[in-house]
C-alpha cells in the first residue's frame, strides 16, 4: 500500500506543479476558444490541461517501475506499456482538438486506433464473466471488438460529462478510488497478481485527477479539454479491461467456493462491461440520453448542446458548485455501493443504506435554493459562501434579452441623479450615472 500511495502522491504532485506552466503555454498558444452557446463560463479559459495530466501519468509509471514491489508489474505484464502507448496517441489527438477543433469523426477514429494499439500489445478482454453461468472464453475478434467498444464508450462518457468546473476530474477520481479498493482487495486478499496492473492504473488515475482539481475547481483557471477528458477516460477503461479480461474467475473460486460464486464477486467489474460502466454510471447515462436526444431532433450524436444533466441542474436553480457536489454524491453512491455489494452481497444493511442515501440525495436535489451554513465555530475553515451573513451569490448569466430589458429600465432623462447643469454644461457629481448594463453584463 505504501508504494501505491507514493506513486499516487508523485503523480498528483507532478500534475499539480505542471498545470500552472501549462496554463501559461495554453494562453500563449491561443488555446482559448471563444464562449459558445452551450458553455456555462463567462470568460475565455485556456484548455490543454491534459498536457499536465499526461506527464503526471508518465511520472507515475516511471516511479512505479523503480519500486521494489510494483516493478514486478512491468516485468510480468506488458499492460503498462500498452496503456502508455494508447494514452500517448489519444492525448495527441486531444491536444490537436483543443487547439484546432478537429472533426468528431476523426476523433472517433483516433479513439478506435488507440484502443486497437492497446489490444495489439495484450491489453484485451480474454473472457467474459456471466452471473449464474460462469466465465465464457472469447475469440480474438470478439475480445478485440468488445475491448474497442468499451474504450470508446468510456472515453466519450467522460468527455460528455466534462461541462462544469471540476466535474469530470472529481467524478473520475471517485470512480477510480472505488475501483482501486476493489482491485487491491483482489490482488492482496486473494493473491492474484493479474489484478496488479488494474490497481496501479487506478492509483495513478487518482493522482492525475487530484493534482488537476485545485486548478479546475470553480472558478476554473484552466480546463482539461479533450486532451484530458479522453485521457482519463482511456485510463479508467484500461483498468476495467485489465481486471475483467485478465483475472480468471477460476482463480477466485478457490476462495469463493465455486465458479458461480466467484463470478458473483466480480459484480463491480463485469457490470461495467454490460451496462457499460457502473462506476461511472452517471456519465454513461448522460451519454445515452444525449445520443437519444440529439438523434430524436435529427442532429448528429456528436453535436454539442445544453441538455446534459449538469446543465439541467443549473436550469432548475442549483448553483455551479452545488450542481457539481450533487453529481459527486450520486457517483460516489453508485461506485461505493457496488463496491460494498461485492464484499457482502447478502447484507440487507447495504441495500438499506443505499436507499437511505438515495432519499437524502433526492431531497437535496429538490431543494435547489437551500444554502447550507456552517456552525459559528467552523466559519474560519469554510469558504465565505457558507458563513452566516456572508453568503456570496453567484452572478446570474446575462443574456442579450435580459440585458436589453435592464437597459430599458434606466432613466431616459438627459440629467441623471448626481448630474447638474451649470451654464448649459453638464457637471458630474459624486454619484455618476450607472454604467450601461449591456456593457457591464459582458465583463466579469
Measured between alpha carbons, how far is residue 300 from residues 102, 103, 294, 304 in Å?
15, 12, 6, 9
Least confident piece of the model among 304-313, 389-398, 435-444? 435-444
Judge contact between 58 and 88, C-beta under 8 A.
no
User: What cell was used for 191?
Assistant: 493473491
Least confident piece of the model among 183-187, 200-204, 245-249? 245-249
- Give the residue from 43, 47, 155 showing the smallest Cα distance to 100: 47
Nearest-angstrom CA–CA distance, 138 and 275: 19
The pLDDT tens digits of the residues spanning 138-193 come to 888 888 998 999 899 889 888 877 777 888 899 889 888 888 888 888 777 777 77
CA atoms within 13 A on the CB side of 263: 13
- Give the residue from 157, 170, 173, 179 showing the smallest Cα distance to 336: 179
Judge contact between 72 and 79, C-beta under 8 A.
no
Judge contact between 172 and 162, C-beta under 8 A.
no
Question: For residue 329, what is the DSSP state?
Answer: H
User: What cell was used for 10?
Assistant: 508523485
End-to-end CA distance of the chain: 46
| Stronger pLDDT, 182 or 236, i.e. the higher one | 236
The pLDDT tens digits of the residues spanning 43-54 come to 778 888 999 999
Q: What is the mean pLDDT of residues 267-271?
A: 47
User: Taking the mean position of all CA atoms in its chain, how far away is CA 241?
Assistant: 19
**How sure is the predictor about 322, in pLDDT bands with cuts at 50, 70 and 90?**
confident
| Stronger pLDDT, 281 or 30, i.e. the higher one | 30
* pTM of the model as a whole: 0.72
Amino acid at each position: 500500500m505504501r508504494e501505491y500511495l507514493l506513486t499516487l502522491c508523485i503523480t498528483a504532485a507532478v500534475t499539480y506543479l505542471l498545470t500552472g506552466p501549462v496554463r501559461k503555454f495554453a494562453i500563449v498558444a491561443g488555446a482559448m476558444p471563444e464562449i459558445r452557446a452551450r458553455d456555462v463560463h463567462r470568460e475565455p479559459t485556456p484548455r490543454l490541461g491534459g498536457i499536465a495530466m499526461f506527464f503526471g501519468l508518465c511520472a507515475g509509471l516511471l516511479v512505479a517501475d523503480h519500486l521494489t514491489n510494483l516493478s514486478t508489474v512491468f516485468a510480468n505484464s506488458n499492460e503498462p506499456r500498452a496503456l502508455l502507448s494508447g494514452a500517448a496517441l489519444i492525448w495527441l489527438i486531444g491536444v490537436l482538438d483543443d487547439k484546432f477543433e478537429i472533426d468528431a469523426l476523426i476523433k472517433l477514429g483516433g479513439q478506435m486506433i488507440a484502443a486497437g494499439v492497446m489490444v495489439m500489445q495484450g491489453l484485451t478482454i480474454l473472457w467474459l464473466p456471466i452471473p449464474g453461468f460462469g466465465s465464457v472464453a472469447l475469440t480474438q475478434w470478439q475480445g478485440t471488438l468488445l475491448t474497442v467498444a468499451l474504450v470508446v464508450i468510456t472515453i466519450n462518457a467522460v468527455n460528455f460529462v466534462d461541462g462544469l468546473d471540476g466535474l469530470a476530474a472529481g467524478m473520475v477520481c471517485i470512480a477510480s478510488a472505488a475501483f482501486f479498493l476493489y482491485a487491491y482487495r483482489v490482488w492482496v486478499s486473494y493473491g492474484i497478481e493479474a489484478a496488479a496492473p488494474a490497481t496501479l492504473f487506478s492509483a495513478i488515475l487518482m493522482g492525475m485527477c487530484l493534482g488537476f482539481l485545485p486548478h479546475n475547481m470553480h472558478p476554473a483557471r484552466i480546463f482539461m479539454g479533450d486532451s484530458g477528458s479522453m485521457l482519463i477516460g482511456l485510463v479508467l477503461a484500461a483498468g476495467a479491461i485489465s481486471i475483467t479480461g485478465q483475472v480468471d474467475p477460476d482463480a477466485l473460486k478457490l476462495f469463493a467456493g465455486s465458479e458461480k460464486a466467484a463470478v458473483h464477486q466480480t459484480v463491480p467489474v463485469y457490470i461495467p462491461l454490460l451496462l457499460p460502466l457502473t462506476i461511472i454510471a452517471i456519465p454513461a447515462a448522460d451519454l445515452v440520453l444525449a445520443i437519444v436526444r440529439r438523434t430524436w431532433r435529427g442532429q448528429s450524436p456528436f453535436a454539442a448542446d445544453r441538455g446534459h444533466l449538469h446543465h439541467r441542474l443549473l436550469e432548475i436553480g442549483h448553483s455551479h458548485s452545488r450542481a457539481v457536489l450533487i453529481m459527486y454524491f450520486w457517483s460516489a453512491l453508485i461506485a461505493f455501493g457496488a463496491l460494498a455489494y461485492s464484499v457482502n452481497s447478502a447484507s440487507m444493511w447495504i441495500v438499506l443504506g443505499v436507499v437511505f442515501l438515495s432519499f437524502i440525495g433526492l431531497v437535496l436535489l429538490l431543494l435547489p435554493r437551500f444554502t447550507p451554513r456552517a456552525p459559528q465555530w467552523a466559519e474560519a475553515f469554510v469558504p465565505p459562501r457558507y458563513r452566516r451573513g456572508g453568503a456570496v451569490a453567484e452572478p446570474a448569466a446575462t443574456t442579450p434579452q435580459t440585458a436589453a430589458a435592464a437597459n430599458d429600465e434606466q432613466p431616459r432623462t438627459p440629467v441623471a441623479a448626481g448630474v447638474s447643469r451649470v451654464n448649459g454644461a453638464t457637471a458630474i457629481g459624486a454619484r455618476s450615472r450607472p454604467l450601461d448594463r449591456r456593457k457591464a453584463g459582458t465583463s466579469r
